[in-house]
Structure 1
Amino acid sequence: MSRQSARSVLACAISTVTSTTRTAAGVFAPGHLGELTQLIPFEMVDEALAETGAVERRLRDLPSRVVVYLLLAAGLFAGLGYRQVWARLVSGLADPGSLPSSSALAQARRRVGVAPLKALFDLLAGPPAGALRWRGLLVCAIDGTTMSVPDSPANLTRYGHQSGSHGGSGYPLVRLLAVVVCGTRTLLAVTFGPFKTGETSYAPALFGCLRRGMVLLADRNFAVKDLVTAIADTGADLVIRCKNNRALPRLATLTDGSWTSVLGGVPIRVIDAHITVTLSGTHRRAIHYRLITTLLDPHRYPARDLVVLYHQRWEIETIYLELKATILGGRVLRARTPAGVDQEIYALLTTYQVLRLAMAEATAIHPGISDDRASFTIALLTARDQVIHAAGILADTTIDLLGRIGRALLEDPLPQRRERISPRIVKRAISKHRAKGQVDRTNHRASTTIDVLTEHQLTAAQSP
């Protein structure tokens, strides 16, 4: 569907809703997130504060509810200090009041603490209603990333530098690990801590979100016997890439070329695939993938289809790009203490989650536009505008299923995804000099051919 057609359908389906600015009363008025407040309403924030014992004992100029919304709004305006974030929260109010001092805002953030932000994230984490399934299974992915924090003594003690051949260097790093829903790119569960702890050590803390009816995608780092056993124990299925030379006993060969084996006491199926990528019609690249899966039925889950499905694992890389590049713009976080880092990360992830939920609601109303055609950048910029104008905070008497964010997304959807290949490059260069010479940074149009290897083909490929 063209963009013009999308606009025409949208105009016919949804009438423009005119609303007036309505906010909470008195000192609570600055506490909002624009239109996103309807997804994180006052009652939800108050409940999180009450459950974690963070409600103020006396009414202050900066009530705890307002401070929580300030922290969430800071996730939308990651390049601004908290006083400037406050200025945007009150810019659309009839009586913006006086601007709190940096010291007052810092004391208020410390008073609220980490727990209410974590409670809010836990309330919002999960797949949106109607999330797409693959053969009846909710497709999820697990992977990790790192986030840079200020080089303060407290952060250095907690997180340390990344070690290397020249000793510790760069900013202290937080390692973050998440389970996400592919397609809608919403978060199911997260954990984070010092960089020195590896992904496989953090992973078991996330498996509580897994259920029967899910399939978890993961890269080679997670092809660990104990992790495979732990995932299988949750009832969820898995598709994990492993090393091509991983020693696994071949028990039986199946009709689609895959074969059965066992790992950590868990029955698995092994798929060896030769993937040929043709770039711009001329250059060719060949890749050998070995996947292990607990989806054992070759008729219901053909081997080639599982290789195609595994590509959805890259959805989680897109999420980390949106968090670190689109929202943060490559910046380090603000907080100079570990408690502040925890608070800021939970606030950032909560804001990200609620943006993604708003996007999922919009694409659910218009099934002609898939989840991956909704622009995260448009959602983020529109949400910022609604905060500045203090618009859509409370639901109108006329129900508006989309709101301004949804309409902005559907009026300007991304084009249909093309198959392209982009080379892996350093995102933040250590040196401005190209020590490794010229790098091809072209995004090539590509076509992909997948061949599932038979036992004979695999033996021939492995022979010297």
Structure 2
Amino acid sequence: MARTKAVLGAGARLSDYLSASLLARVYPAEQINALLDEHGCNSQRIRSFPAVAGAYYCMALSLYPEAAYEEVFAVIAQGLAWAQSSPVPAQVSKSSISELRGKLGHAPLRALMRQACLPLANAQTHPEAFYAGLRVVAIDGSNFEVPDEVDNVEQFGYPGSRTGHAGYPQAQCAVLVECATHAILDAYIGAYRTSEWEICVPLLDTLKPGMLCLADRGFNGYRYWESARRSGADLLWRCTKDRQLPVLQTLADGSFLSEIRPSAKDRDGKADAIVVRVVEYALPSLDGEPTRYRLMTSLLDPAQAPALELAALYHTRWQVEAVFDELKTHLQQRRRVLRSKTPELVRQEFYGWVLAHYAVRWLMHQTASEHQLSHAQLSFTGHVQLLRRTQPLSGAFPPRATKKAKAVVS
């Protein structure tokens, strides 16, 4: 069957970019259709732009930030049509795309993320993803700019500045990341001025027994600690230097047992003190003044988790910063502002962005597992470029002729 090549801007062929077939491998159409049915937004009849294609389209937006809406859809439509051996649909107008995006909303994409974005590493092939038998994950937040529209300003708000407010409103997000693979396991988006903890609370549902969660100083209050521990996960969180932590017992490795109690506003008459272990250490800095760290952990046994190992492990938390760099710099190609002009579509674009990132990391994990490499040996940027050059099961070659993608080593 003859195919006409879709394009993404002048001089860019479909064969230079990712078709929907890879996304469909990570997120099968059957899974997406079931979620669309569950949320009551699936297509009720055969359309040139079915709702399932709209879901893939929302993911592809972040892969092609330089392309027009219609051109991104053309790639998604051609990839899906080829995979299903069906005719390529006609070009769809920007208004039709906007209409379908409005019908989809963000809820099905968030549900897909929570259902499909699972931990990637296993202890046999990637032992670096674990510590003392616990999967190492980290939680953190960041901000990003959204279009300067009235509704976005009302929902998300401006950051303050010396001249009144910044040029664009900003949304705040939080992510839960598997540190070794950079896979985003859960994410949430909220208003700029919402407290960081409030943005992180929805992620606690994804914490599970068998995980060790790392976090920075913003999350060491009694209420936060108790909520996170209720998930069954263990914790290793940095706390402020001025926090009052009584020494209950000094341990052989230099750490000590302490306890945290609810503050007056957290006290409900039933809360009890929680025993924690405290690890304190200092690292040299460029200005000569050492940086002091104070960690609290639920791992109370120094034989199971020596203080020196925990001090080294805590700095794995910075892998979250690398994930934000991958999202903002390498997927969005330094595009400062999301495209969507309404709060609902901003949320939809955000979850599509997270799903696209996970798809890249999923591909990298397949490469790492097949070639017995650590994820740190692979280049995220290189794999994004590889996705844009590769189009499995697309019109560039017959459906049965497949090419194996080679690892991109940094």
**Structure 1-normalised TM-score?**
0.75
1:111 aligns with 2:107: no
1:269 aligns with 2:277: yes
1:311 aligns with 2:311: no
Shift of 1:337: 0.3
Given the alignment, which residue of 361, 375, 392 partners 1:356? 361
Q: Is the 8 A contact 1:244 1:289 kept in 2?
A: yes
Where does 1:175-194 land on structure 2 (aligned, <5 Å)? 175-194=172-191
The 1-side partners of 2:253 and 2:102 are apart by 59
Given the alignment, which residue of 68, 77, 102 partners 2:55? 68
Shift of 1:303: 0.4
Given the alignment, which residue of 5, 17, 28 partners 1:41? 28
Q: Which residue of 2 aligns with 1:252?
A: 249
Shift of 1:91: 6.3
Deviations 1:212-231 (A, max 9, x none): 21111111111112111111
The 2-side partners of 1:232 and 1:41 are apart by 34
Given the alignment, which residue of 151, 165, 169 partners 1:168? 165
The 1-side partners of 2:221 and 2:248 are apart by 20
User: Aligned to 2:326, what secondary structure does the other structure show?
Assistant: helix
1:230 aligns with 2:227: yes
User: Aligned to 1:141, what secondary structure does the other structure show?
Assistant: strand
The 1-side partners of 2:202 and 2:77 are apart by 39
One-letter identity of the residue aligned with 2:409: P
Shift of 1:376: 1.0
Q: Is the 8 A contact 1:241 1:291 kept in 2?
A: yes
Deviations 1:414-442 (A, max 9, x none): 2xxxxxxxxxxxxxxxxxxxxxxxxxxxx
Where does 1:9-28 land on structure 2 (aligned, <5 Å)? none
Given the alignment, which residue of 203, 217, 220 partners 1:220? 217
Q: Is the 8 A contact 2:186 2:203 kept in 1?
A: yes
1:333 aligns with 2:338: yes
Q: Which residue of 2 aligns with 1:196?
A: 193
Q: Which residue of 2 aligns with 1:375?
A: 379
One-letter identity of the residue aligned with 2:327: L
1:323 aligns with 2:327: yes
Describe the shift of the 1:388–1:163 C-alpha distance in structure 2 as closer, same or farther (beyond 3 A). farther
The 2-side partners of 1:370 and 1:391 are apart by 33
Given the alignment, which residue of 282, 293, 300 partners 1:296? 300
User: Aligned to 1:234, what secondary structure does the other structure show?
Assistant: coil
Shift of 1:50: 1.6
Where does 1:80-159 land on structure 2 (aligned, <5 Å)? 80-89=67-76, 96-130=88-122, 132-159=129-156
Shift of 1:394: 11
Name structure 1 gaps, 5 residues minimum.
1-20, 22-30, 415-464
Describe the shift of the 1:242–1:389 C-alpha distance in structure 2 as closer, same or farther (beyond 3 A). same
Describe the shift of the 1:342–1:387 C-alpha distance in structure 2 as closer, same or farther (beyond 3 A). farther
Q: Is the 8 A contact 2:53 2:77 kept in 1?
A: no
The 1-side partners of 2:399 and 2:301 are apart by 48
User: Aligned to 1:35, what secondary structure does the other structure show?
Assistant: helix
User: Aligned to 2:120, what secondary structure does the other structure show?
Assistant: coil
Larger radius of gyration: 1
Shift of 1:395: 8.8
One-letter identity of the residue aligned with 1:318: A
Q: Which residue of 2 aligns with 1:342?
A: 347
User: Aligned to 1:200, what secondary structure does the other structure show?
Assistant: helix
Q: Is the 8 A contact 1:212 1:236 kept in 2?
A: yes
Q: Is the 8 A contact 2:276 2:298 kept in 1?
A: yes
Where does 1:364-443 land on structure 2 (aligned, <5 Å)? 364-367=369-372, 369-387=373-391, 390=394, 404=404, 407-408=405-406, 410=407, 412-414=408-410
What is the aligned residue count?
373
Q: Is the 8 A contact 2:250 2:256 kept in 1?
A: yes
Deviations 1:87-137 (A, max 9, x none): 333567786553221111111211222222122212212201516311101
Q: Is the 8 A contact 2:174 2:199 kept in 1?
A: yes
The 2-side partners of 1:59 and 1:374 are apart by 41
**Structure 2-normalised TM-score?**
0.84
The 2-side partners of 1:413 and 1:338 are apart by 38
The 2-side partners of 1:394 and 1:50 are apart by 33
Q: Which residue of 2 aligns with 1:286?
A: 290
Q: Is the 8 A contact 2:48 2:89 kept in 1?
A: no
One-letter identity of the residue aligned with 2:21: G
Please report the RMSD computed on the Cα atoms of aligned residues, expressed in angstroms: 2.6
Shift of 1:45: 1.8
Describe the shift of the 1:313–1:393 C-alpha distance in structure 2 as closer, same or farther (beyond 3 A). farther
User: Aligned to 2:137, what secondary structure does the other structure show?
Assistant: strand
The 1-side partners of 2:397 and 2:104 are apart by 22
Name structure 2 gaps, 5 residues minimum.
4-17, 262-272
One-letter identity of the residue aligned with 2:387: A
Kindly report structure 1 stretches of 4+ aligned residues shifted beyond 4 Å. Answer: 90-97, 391-396
